[in-house]
């Protein structure tokens, strides 16, 4: 009788994105396994075991070197690859035949751009990592979204020499580049680790965060974000959900089912706001106060009338100025913040729908469901099941 599946996981465990993906894979294994895993803790570069001697039955891997690609291909095992490069995806490359997991880099960058634009900034910058396809895609998408709004993006060019990639050498170079930027400015870093490095370079350059420079990363790696000084705002990706779906797909492949090539996407969920972006670059003090009041009290059953009462000015006057400055009505902004909170709770908690409606500021569950379905074309419970990749909790 065959034993449990043995799966090699060549996924970075030193970073939040990889850790969250692994949690999704483990969740699938607990529900449908058990599985046994080969794992080498570390960063991007991994090593594949001797799969035949180990008795491996499947692989989920980030392919960093030609040697790893060769070993995976020669194993002949069902494989799902992570974030294949454009070179890997060409028809002549052996890795192009594998199903793939990738983050929605374009969507994450667009979400970051819209978030920073809503805060009223006119100057923007992007700091990426060389030779990473996801960083390049995020840079391109961020620039497109910002330029579409009529603004310019200052783009940092990482050092070309491998010798200068060492952080101790790059830090003063990055600090000098940052010191020449117009302030105030909003900066997107390609991921949270890069965001921490930008924050360190800002300290070296004497630039205050967030008073002079607002900073946002990607992945919402809790540890990295909280270790940053100040704590780093970040775009959260559904890595756990895509990990679950990848395990589900691999399970079908290991059972001998013929599966068409698939591309599984870790979609952006929301921006988790921390101190690094706790600033709104809007000259109108009333609008700034209205936005802060909405963010601070959206989980309560406040209405537009409560915002107007807080500011003690004409409702019509505030509505006109808010729409002109922010591009949305007060009601739309209130709903957007509430729905953002609800989406996070649907994914990260097992709270029932009525409780999520309550803590998100909705008076009744039925109204919450109505608003959610109108905004996303799907009910909250189905949204939860879709993102988690399983039956979820209603």
pLDDT at 375: 92
Q: Are 286 and 321 in contact (CB under 8 A)?
A: yes
pLDDT at 366: 94
pLDDT at 51: 64
pLDDT at 42: 60
Tokens 């105030």 map to which residue? 184
Q: Please report, in tens digits, the pLDDT of each residue of the chain (394 residues total).
A: 467 899 999 888 878 888 999 999 999 999 998 999 988 766 555 566 666 677 789 999 888 778 888 888 888 899 999 887 666 555 556 677 888 999 999 999 999 999 999 888 899 999 999 888 889 999 999 999 999 999 999 999 988 776 767 888 899 999 999 999 999 999 999 999 999 999 999 999 999 998 899 999 999 998 899 999 899 999 999 999 999 999 999 999 999 998 888 999 999 988 988 989 977 777 788 888 888 888 888 888 899 999 999 999 999 999 999 998 878 899 998 998 899 889 888 877 889 999 999 999 999 999 999 999 999 999 999 998 887 765 444 4
DSSP secondary structure of 261-328: --EEEE-EEEEE--GGG-----S-HHHHHHHHHHHHHTTTT--HHHHHHHHTS-HHHHHHHHHHHHSS
Q: State the number of CA atoms in the 13 A half-sphere of 34 facing the CB.
A: 3
pTM for this predicted structure: 0.75
CA dist list (Å): 49 to 58, 68, 391: 12, 10, 34
- Residue 32, sorted as left (phi over 0), alpha (psi -120 to 50) or beta, turns out to be alpha
List the alpha helices (DSSP H) in 65-185: 66-75, 105-118, 133-148, 167-179
Q: How many residues does the chain have?
A: 394
Q: Are 63 and 81 in contact (CB under 8 A)?
A: yes
Q: Are 82 and 99 in contact (CB under 8 A)?
A: no
State the Rg of the chain over Cα.
23
Q: Are 316 and 308 in contact (CB under 8 A)?
A: no
- Full set of structural domains in the chain with CATH: 6-102+239-267 (3.40.50.2300), 105-237+271-277 (3.40.50.2300), 285-388 (1.10.10.60)
């Amino acid at each position: 009788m065959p034993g449990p599946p043995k799966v090699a996981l060549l996924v970075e465990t030193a970073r939040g994105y990889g850790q969250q993906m692994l949690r999704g894979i483990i969740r699938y294994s607990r529900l449908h396994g058990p599985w046994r895993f080969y794992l080498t803790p570390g960063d991007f570069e991994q090593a594949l075991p001797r799969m035949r001697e180990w008795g491996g039955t499947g692989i989920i891997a980030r392919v960093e070197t030609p040697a790893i690609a060769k070993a995976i291909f020669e194993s002949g095992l069902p494989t799902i690859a992570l974030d294949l490069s454009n070179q890997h995806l060409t028809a002549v490359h052996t890795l192009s035949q594998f199903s793939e997991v990738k983050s929605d880099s374009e969507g994450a960058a667009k979400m970051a751009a819209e978030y920073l634009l809503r805060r009223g900034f006119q100057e923007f910058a992007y700091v990426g990592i060389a030779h990473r396809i996801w960083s390049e895609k995020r840079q391109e998408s961020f620039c497109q979204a910002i330029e579409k709004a009529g603004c310019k993006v200052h783009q940092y060019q990482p050092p070309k020499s491998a010798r200068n990639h060492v952080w101790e050498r790059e830090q003063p170079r990055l600090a000098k580049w940052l010191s020449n930027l117009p302030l105030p400015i909003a900066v997107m870093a390609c991921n949270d680790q890069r965001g921490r490095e930008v924050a360190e370079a800002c300290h070296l350059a004497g630039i205050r965060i967030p008073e002079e420079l607002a900073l946002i990363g990607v992945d919402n790696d809790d540890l990295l974000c909280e270790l940053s000084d100040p704590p780093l705002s970040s775009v959260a990706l559904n890595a756990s959900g895509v990990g679950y779906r990848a395990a589900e797909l691999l399970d079908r492949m290991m059972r001998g089912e013929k599966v068409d090539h698939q591309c599984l996407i870790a979609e952006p969920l929301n921006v988790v706001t921390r101190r690094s972006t706790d600033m709104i670059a809007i000259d109108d003090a009333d609008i700034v106060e209205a936005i802060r009041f909405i963010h601070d009290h959206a989980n309560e059953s406040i209405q537009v009338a409560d915002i107007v009462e807080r500011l003690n000015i004409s409702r019509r006057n505030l509505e006109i100025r808010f729409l002109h400055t922010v591009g949305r009505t007060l009601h739309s902004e209130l709903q957007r913040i509430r729905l953002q909170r609800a989406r996070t709770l649907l994914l990260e908690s097992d709270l029932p729908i009525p409780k999520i409606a309550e803590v998100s500021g909705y008076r009744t569950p039925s109204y919450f469901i109505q608003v959610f379905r109108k905004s996303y074309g799907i009910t909250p419970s189905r949204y939860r099941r879709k993102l988690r990749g399983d039956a979820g909790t209603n």
